[in-house]
Amino acid sequence: EAGVAQSPRYKIIEKRQSVAFWCNPISGHATLYWYQQILGQGPKLLIQFQNNGVVDDSQLPKDRFSAERLKGVDSTLKIQPAKLEDSAVYLCASSLGGGAGGPGDTQYFGPGTRLTVL
Amino acid sequence: LAKTTQPISMDSYEGQEVNITCSHNNIATNDYITWYQQFPSQGPRFIIQGYKTKVTNEVASLFIPADRKSSTLSLPRVSLSDTAVYYCLVGGPNTGFQKLVFGTGTRLLVSP
């Protein structure tokens, strides 16, 4: 079974530029998550999709971050414009269930995209 | 949402058993306890999940006392490759789409 795919793996941009990340979840997984992980910290959930609907985006900085999940499969996360503090690893994960933490809600993570904002 | 507390770091030597304890005093009746492992430059990986008593798989054991206010992840005979960050998460199926919160985790360093 193929895992969660993400691209690119690395990205270096200057502040005020735009950047987009792509995620392809495991086939059949209804729930997709985007996390931001700053060096030395645990992953912080930015947005959670159930199929193609947003169920939690309370920690997404909506003035600069946006995300979509077209047709309930692939997803893109965009930052426009980027700030220095956006330097982090952006992780995509998917799960079969609704993501509340019980059986069947195991999250499978991709390798992440390391973003450096100069 | 149950808050978890775990040690920031632990050190061990190859071949030893490592026990990492997580406190979750306000765990709800329907919450499960899940542990993830994260290596540098990789996303977290599921290790084990449990509800009560003891769960064992090929990687680890999870001990949960009767009051469920804490849990202990046990790694038998660790090797250098077990050096990683370990996260304890608590959540349940009756909380809807409530998000699981990753804390700072426990950084385990295994030395020769």
Residue type, A95: S
Q: Over range B10-21, report the average pLDDT.
A: 97
pLDDT, tens digit (0-9, with 9 covering 90-100), for B51-62: 998 999 999 999
- B97 touching A, CB under 8 A? yes
Q: Is B78 on the interface with A (CB under 8 A)?
A: no
Over the range A10-30, which residues count as b (16 or more CB within 10 Å of their CB) and which as e?
ebebeeeeebebebbbbeebb
**Choice between B93 and A70, residue whose per-residue pLDDT is larger:** A70
Q: Tell me the per-residue pLDDT of B24-51, one tens digit each, with 9 for 90 and over.
A: 898 888 888 999 999 988 999 999 999 9
Which residue in A50, A57, A53, A77 sits closest to A65, CA to CA?
A77
Checking if the pLDDT of B9 tops 50, the result is yes
What is the distance between the alpha carbons of residues A6 and A25, in angstroms, rounded to a whole number?
Answer: 9
Confidence at residue B95, expressed as pLDDT on a 0 to 100 scale: 54
Q: Hey, is B94 helix, strand or coil?
A: helix
Pick the residue with more confidence: A31 or A101? A31
Q: Residue B97 has what pLDDT? A: 42
**Alpha carbon of B103 to those of A28, A40, A44, B7, B88: distances in Å?**
28, 11, 9, 11, 8
Q: Give the tens place of pLDDT for each residue, B67-111.
A: 999 999 999 999 999 999 999 988 876 554 456 778 889 999 999
In this prediction, residues A48-61 reach a mean pLDDT of 89
Segment A21-41 shows an average pLDDT of: 94
Q: Which residues contact B45 (CB under 8 A, 6 or more apart)?
A: A109, B36, B37, B38, B39
Q: Give the pLDDT of residue B58.
A: 93
Chain A residues 49-88 within an 8 A CB cutoff of chain B: 50, 55-56
Q: For A101, which of B85, B100, B105 is closest by C-beta distance? A: B100
Number of Cβ pairs < 8 A linking chain A and chain B: 83
For residue A76, is pLDDT > 90?
Answer: yes
The pLDDT value given to residue B96 = 47
Amino acid at B79: S
